Structure 1
Amino acid sequence: MAAAGRALDWWRGAVIYQIYPRSFLDTNGDGVGDLPGIVDKLDYVASLGVDAIWVSPFFKSPMADFGYDISDYRDIDPLFGTLADFDRLLAKAHALGIKVMIDQVLSHSSDQHEWFRQSRQDRVNDKANWYVWADPKPDGGAPNNWLSIFGGPAWKWEPRREQYYLHNFLSSQPQLNFHNPAVRAAMLDNLKFWLDRGVDGMRLDSINFCFHDEQLRDNPAKPAHLRTGRGFSADNPYAYQYHYYNNTRPENLALMEDLRTLFNRYPGSTMLGEISSEDSLGTMAEYVGDKRLHMGYSFELLVEDFSAAHIRTTVEDIETRMPHGWPCWAVSNHDVMRATSRWGGAGDDDFARQLVALVCSLRGSVCLYQGEELGLTEADVPYEALQDPYGISFWPNFKGRDGCRTPMPWDDSAQAGFTDSPPWLPIPAEHRARSVAAQDADPGSVLNATRRFLRWRQSLPALLQGDIGFIDAPEPVLAFTRDAAGQRLLVVFNLSAEAVQWTLPDGIEPQAIEDHELLAGRVDGCQLHLAARGVFFARLD
């Protein structure tokens, strides 16, 4: 690809490092991370060899959902700093060759946003139709059976209007009415504010939730054996329904096209949509393409199933359904249990190294969540220290999201070099033992292995943007090829904690690839021997 084209399409095959600002570095001693902390650690981020950062919300907010409830889309919450701090972050990142993506939450605002403060006053004000309001049923009940992800009905009564308002998440996160053209225009203008400021891209939170069914039809019931999904279990009533009417409405497609029209005015900018629906891969296929989102982000590899079959089926499904689009993969983020714990490899450095190599070898872009490069495990946060309203509501069956949000361990001191004060979430001893300082000094650490792998990956066009094709192999072996620019690679993973042997299919004749520390396999005739958690790359040129 020509240099100019690659610059515009930098996001294809990019590794995007997710920063959860509350937990990255505290510079003012309040126990909460901030934007100056990110600025201070950008040299560390650059040392990883990533292409971009995605910074979770830092906008003004009452923090009921830790920034995903925004009260001012164009300003920084004082907890995190100032607009000047953000501009410094942007300038330093760009000087280091790092693109900057920010979270945007379009579907809902905080109930403290001035729009909602006005909207809730009466039915005739200028913002009266900016949120989703509905009359009660004749018996005073909620307008329909829609449920909130965080538990219970998705409607809350407002006595001043004598109406209910919709909230798909917390009751303090009222749903904006995207059927109103003025709302769509205002939200697009908010995005323009940050694009004009120089951001390179946006991760669009819950982007399929913007529109609702104007007829307010009830969602149908879901059979008990199908009550699964993103963090949902049978004890969460949200899993009891097919969510056909409260999200993923057909009107959303036109919004995706409006978004793309805006972003096309900023060459090199990109959109990554978070998509969680009844058929997330199908929705990704609809939402991603030349006239809609650049990339789609779903939860198929953020579940408990860790098997070669699940990974293959998921990737092949999206390859078949979205040949025109570009996926983005992740195995950890701020909403789910960390992968090393979720998939049974807690404390296993070889497993932590393998996970980075695996997600960075699939066709698509990659989101690495802060701490993955250290092999961090899920923290066990006691009930009395919980902050997440989701976990507090569903304890003890579901402990919430705090366990993956604990602060970054920079050293092995009492507060892990994160803060001089009590941190907003406790930092477990096992994380301090895996600190950046400790791993920096160890050439064989997960951190240094990640750095070397990401640098090595950048030299292989097939891994960056090549096609992918899977090869039949028995569990626990995951095998596929990557092809691009005259380069063809064989990629094989042993997903188990035991050594395995795999008979190579006819016609597969691996050629030696430059030595790399992650390679834990050898070919003997037609047999490939893989160590526990083994990773194998070879040329098929």
Structure 2
Amino acid sequence: MALSGDVNWWRGGVLYQVYPRSFFDSNGDGIGDLPGISQKLDYIADLGVDGIWLSPFFTSPMKDFGYDVANYRDVDPMFGTLEDFDHLVEKAHGLGLRVTIDQVLSHSSDAHPWFRESRSSTDNPKSDWYVWADPKPDGTPPNNWLSIFGGSAWKFDTTRQQYYMHNFLSSQPDLNFHNPDVQQQLLDDVEFWLRRGVDGFRLDTANFYVHDKQLRDNPPWIPGTHRPEGAPKQNPYTRQMHVHDKTQPENLAFLKKLRAVLDKYPGTTTVGEIGSDNSLATMAEYTAGGDKLHMAYTINLLESPLEAGLVRGMLIDVFRELGDGWPCWAVSNHDFMRVASRWGKDKGGDNDARLRMIPALYTSLRGTPCIYQGEELGLEEAIVPYEQLQDPYGIEMWPEFKGRDGCRTPMPWHNANVAHGGFTTSDQPWLPVPQDHSALSVASQIDDPTSLRSFYKNLLAWRKNHPEIIQGDIEMLEHGDDAIIGFVRMTGIVRTICVFNVTPDAVTTTLPGPSAGNCSLNTASVAGDQVSLPGWGFYFGTI
């Protein structure tokens, strides 16, 4: 059973994302695993988060590192067994941690038995479980849809003499959500994990499930409009408006069915990954009304630079669009450059102050924060040489886009005097552990009260004592100074102002009224309604 307690824990609870391949290797094969995660759950619980999000660990040929599922109901032997997963859930619940897991429903692996049967003929029982289409008369693909990983979104199958659709790798065929049997099977697979006690799901590419049944061409991107999200600008995928290959109206009906399954298990939740041509509107639509997703996140903060006007404007848009929906906030994850390298590093100033201001900012927003493993240590994006790349996306798009390996390197548990930062006893970890990461190891920070990791722990402890920060309303503040992002969090008569200097230069700004600091972690000074923030400074105070 899911962990008992507050059924709305997900509203403002903090999630910690674990990338299993890179967290801790318990058996010395160079790859992290479920027993390794179980061994390190005490570390996660000590940080003060409310739950974990596990990236995929299902049976898979690992061409996209688990996001190509070959069995939705089993653990890949690389990561352990179902019994190892059950033990992980039991230990996590004993520590008060919720367990959410990735669900990759839009596509499977081409090694999945469903696809093997589907491709065998045009009249087998699963012949329409995937998106098949005849070639055009000249033999070319059915339409102009593109794969995010490069080239056409269609691959020709010589047995069926048809094309099948793949939004990602050609080894990741898209499931046909126009088939009710497919939907029911996936709902049953979701419930399999609910019965094993999981507390929720992170839904990969949650707006990709349904495609346009007529297979109409996508129109070209119009210069001057918002560039399509979900891919670097060097990718031809961004040259189309994705109005037919994803984010279809029928998607909402499936999400309602999915929510009905979750509602049978009180206290469980869903967080959807949204990447569309208008992600904020899609996020609002998918989380509104309490009958679809519980919460969702877009890639806005994962892609954007740290510019006050840009981020402030995006936040204003989110809270205006979202209505009664609930956002999830991530500034790093397994698909994007680590925030320590992306947000403000090029601006200089006190780097330690910058790395403290960032979590202070995003964990105090209205919504559910998600911390990516190693973020609390201040890990920067690793430089992985081309000859050591594992990510097929990076290999395909090299050198302009170097892929996702730089944010996926293993967790450094020990200093450089321990091989591979203590991640593995193998001579060859699946990705290298950079020397500068080992210098920021858990061992070097966990008992140091001045470390960044200790700051995260103290910040989350402070946050738990402020209901207005966890579930209160938010009011964005306008600032004439482009250095400042500010907002007020409030519950009843309690009002906490949150102000952040997102530049390396000191700045003084005027608050809406006299204030008294309410957080010992503050790096600013206040006099009446004037707050003086050093470079990368922040302030929490009662007004």
Pick the TM interval, shorter chain. over 0.9
- 1:131-150 matches, within 5 Å, as 131-150=130-149
Deviation at 1:297, TM superposition (A): 1.3
Q: Which residues in structure 2 correspond to 1:338-377 (within 5 Å)?
A: 338-345=338-345, 348-377=351-380
Question: Which of 523, 526, 530 is matched with 2:526 structurally?
Answer: 523
Output one character per residue of 1:266-306: Cα deviation in whole Å (capped at 9) or x when no partner: 01110111110010010011111311110011111111321
The code of the aligned residue for 1:476 comes to: A
Match of 1:164 in 2: 163
Deviates more, 1:521-530 or 1:466-475: 521-530
Residue 495 of structure 2 is aligned with which of 470, 488, 496? 488
Query: Structure 2 vs 1, CA of residues 227 and 484 (structure 1 numbering), >3 Å: closer, same or farther?
Result: closer
Q: CA deviation at 1:234?
A: 3.8
Task: Output aligned runs, 1:129-528, within 5 Å.
Answer: 129-226=128-225, 228-230=227-229, 232-289=231-288, 290-345=290-345, 348-412=351-415, 413-421=418-426, 422-473=428-479, 474-505=481-512, 508-513=513-518, 515-516=519-520, 518-528=521-531
Shift of 1:344: 3.1
Letter in 2 for 1:502: T
Alpha-carbon shift at residue 525 of structure 1 (Å):
4.3
Q: Which amino acid is 2:315 matched to? A: V
For 1:466 and 1:350, how far apart are their aligned partners in 2?
A: 27
Alpha-carbon distance in structure 2 between the residues aligned to 1:333 and 1:271: 17
Q: Which amino acid aligns with 2:363?
A: C
Q: Which runs of 5+ in 2 are unaligned?
A: none
Structure 1, unaligned runs of 5 or more: none
Q: Is the 8 A contact 1:224 1:240 kept in 2?
A: no
How many residue pairs get matched? 533
Query: CA–CA distance in 2 between the matches of 1:231 and 1:73?
Result: 25
What SS does the corresponding residue of 2:344 show, helix, strand or coil? coil
Distance 1:443 1:324 in 2: 39
Q: Distance in 2 between matches of 1:296 and 1:107?
A: 16
- Write the deviation string for residues 183-234 of structure 1: whole angstroms up to 9, x where unpaired: 0000000000000111000001001101010100000001345574545344
Native 8 Å contact 1:469 1:480 kept in 2: yes
Identity of aligned residues (%): 55
Residues 286 and 293, structure 2, Cα contact 8 Å, conserved in 1: yes
Q: 2:308 & 2:261 partners in 1: Cα distance?
A: 39
Given that residues 351 and 533 in structure 1 are in contact (C-alpha distance below 8 angstroms), is that contact kept between their aligned partners in structure 2? Answer: yes
CA-based RMSD of the aligned residues comes to: 1.5
Which residue identity lines up with residue 303 of structure 1 in the other structure? E
Secondary structure, in 3 states, of the residue corresponding to 2:74?
strand
Query: Kindly tell me: are residues 227 and 328 of structure 1, through their superposed partners in 2, closer, same or farther at Cα, counting changes over 3 Å?
Result: closer
Determine the C-alpha separation between the residues in 1 that align with 2:409 and 2:209: 30
Letter in 2 for 1:536: Y
**Contact 2:226–2:277 under 8 Å retained in 1:** no
Equivalent-residue separation in structure 1 for 2:397 and 2:374 (angstroms): 26
Letter in 1 for 2:436: E
CA distance in 1, matches of 2:4, 2:94: 21
Which region of structure 1 is more displaced relative to structure 2, 334-343 or 232-241? 232-241
User: Could you tell which deviates more after superposition, 98-107 or 339-348?
Assistant: 339-348
How many Å separate the matches in 2 of 1:268 and 1:234?
39
Opposite residue 500 of structure 2, the aligned amino acid is F
Deviations 1:296-322 (A, max 9, x none): 111111113212222222222121122
Kindly provide the amino acid, as one letter, of the partner of residue 85 in structure 2.
F
Report if the CA contact (8 A) 2:498-2:539 is conserved: yes
How far apart are 1:378 and its partner, in Å?
0.3
Report if aligned partners of 1:54, 1:102 keep a CA contact under 8 Å in 2: yes
Contact map agreement 2:141 2:163 (CA 8 A) in 1: yes
TM-score (norm 2): 0.96
- Say which of 530, 537, 541 aligns to 2:540: 537
Residue of structure 2 equivalent to 1:63? 62
Instruction: Give the letter for the 1:362 counterpart.
Output: L
CA distance in 2, matches of 1:193, 1:22: 23
| Distance change (3 Å), C-alpha of 1:294 and 1:462 | same
3-state secondary structure, aligned to 1:255: helix
For 1:25-46, what per-residue CA distance to the aligned partner results, in whole angstroms no more than 9, with x for missing partners? Answer: 0011110000000000000000
Letter in structure 1 aligned against 2:296: G
Counterpart CA distance in 2 for 1:70 and 1:404 is: 22
CA displacement at 1:345 relative to structure 2: 2.4
Deviations 1:401-441 (A, max 9, x none): 00000000001122101001111001111100000000113
Q: Is the 8 A contact 2:12 2:470 kept in 1?
A: yes
* Distance in 1 of aligned mates of 2:340 and 2:360: 14
Are the aligned partners of 2:200 and 2:270 in contact in 1 as well (CA < 8 Å)? yes
